[in-house]
Amino acid sequence: MPKYLEVDELGSPAAQLFGERLKQRRRACDLTQAQLAEQTDITAAYISLIERGRANPTLEMMVKLAETVGAEAWDMIRPAE
C-alpha cells in the first residue's frame, strides 16, 4: 500500500470517524467486508484498515464507499452535533 494512504496507528479523527460510521452502515446493510469490497473494487484488507481508522482513503473512495452503504460522504465525516 502506498505510504501516503496510511496513517499512524491512532489515525486522524476524521479517518476514525469515517471508519466507525462505515462499519456501522455496512453492518446495517448486512454486508461483510468481502461483499463491500466486491461492490466497490476496494480490497477487503483496505476496507478493514479504513474501518479501524488506520487508512486515509481518497475522496473518491469515500464517496464510493458511502454511496454503497446508502450514505453521503459528508454525513460519514460530519462531527456529531
Q: What is residue 4's predicted lDDT score, i.e. its pLDDT?
A: 45
pLDDT value of position 80: 79
| Grid cell listed for 26 | 455496512
Distance CA 34, CA 11 (A): 23
The per-residue pLDDT for 9 is: 63
57, 50 Cβ separation under 8 angstroms: yes
Q: pTM score, two decimals?
A: 0.85
Taking the mean position of all CA atoms in its chain, how far away is CA 31?
13
pLDDT of the chain, 81 residues: tens digit per residue? 555 455 456 678 888 999 999 999 999 999 999 999 999 999 999 999 999 999 989 999 999 999 999 999 999 999 877
